[in-house]
DNA sequence: GCCAACGTTGGC
DNA sequence: GCCAACGTTGGC
């Protein structure tokens, strides 16, 4: 079962929001590499829920993929922040998936701490200049991060 | 196909 | 708010 890491701005969707709602649609991915990762997700996959663009960027908990991927409806909504004028119902290049809550960490594992872990040096998250918002996490990386929670 | 300009991401 | 790094756009 593959593992993932996905970034969200907590102002938009935080791990606490997910815990409260239990499920949410993970949409708005607008990068082809990240989209391809979304398309390879399977129900039951777990992911680290990363808080970005906030006072304490880091991993805040764990979520679970609970649906197959499907065309991202926000790409077709003119009033959406994620509207893509080049997308159509017939040809929508963007994908979304439904996610569920799994676990809230007592404390956020800060990015600064993740950066100090040699076991995580291959993770796109900690690599200079990387802005990938959806990325795979190996079983070894998963265990190394969990050990910090 | 090249590449400059632009917009976005996201840490700090 | 700043700015480095990246991806995309569009003229040529």
Can you give the distance from the CA of residue A54 to the C1' of nucleotide C1 in angstroms?
A: 14
Any atom of strand C under 7 A from CB of A31? Answer: yes
Measured between alpha carbons, how far is A2 from A26 in angstroms, rounded to an integer?
17
pTM equals: 0.95
Q: DSSP labels for A79-137?
A: TSTT--TT--SSS---EEEEEEEEEEEEEEEEHHHHTT-GGGTT-GGGSTT---SEEEE
- Nearest residue (CA) to C1' of B9: A131
For A9, left (φ over 0), alpha (ψ -120 to 50), or beta? beta
Q: How confident is the model at residue A1 (pLDDT cuts 50, 70, 90)?
A: confident
Lowest mean pLDDT among A14-18, A83-87, A92-96, A143-147: A83-87
pLDDT confidence of residue A126: 95
Note whether A31 and A72 are within 8 A (CB): no
The tokens for A53 are: 């663009």
Any atom of strand C under 7 A from CB of A81? Answer: no
């Amino acid at each position: 079962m593959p593992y993932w890491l996905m970034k969200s701005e907590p102002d938009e969707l935080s791990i606490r929001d997910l815990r409260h709602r239990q499920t949410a649609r993970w949409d708005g991915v607008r990068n082809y590499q990240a989209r391809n990762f979304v398309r390879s997700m399977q129900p039951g996959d777990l992911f680290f829920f990363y808080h970005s663009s906030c006072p304490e960027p880091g991993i805040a908990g764990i979520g679970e993929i609970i649906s197959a991927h499907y065309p991202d409806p926000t790409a077709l909504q003119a009033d959406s922040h994620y509207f893509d004028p080049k997308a159509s119902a017939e040809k929508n290049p963007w994908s979304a998936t439904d996610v569920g809550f799994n676990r809230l960490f007592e404390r956020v594992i800060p990015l600064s701490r993740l950066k100090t872990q040699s076991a995580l040096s291959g993770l796109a998250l900690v690599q200079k200049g990387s802005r990938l918002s959806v990325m795979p996490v190996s079983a070894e990386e998963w265990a190394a991060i969990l050990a910090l929670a």
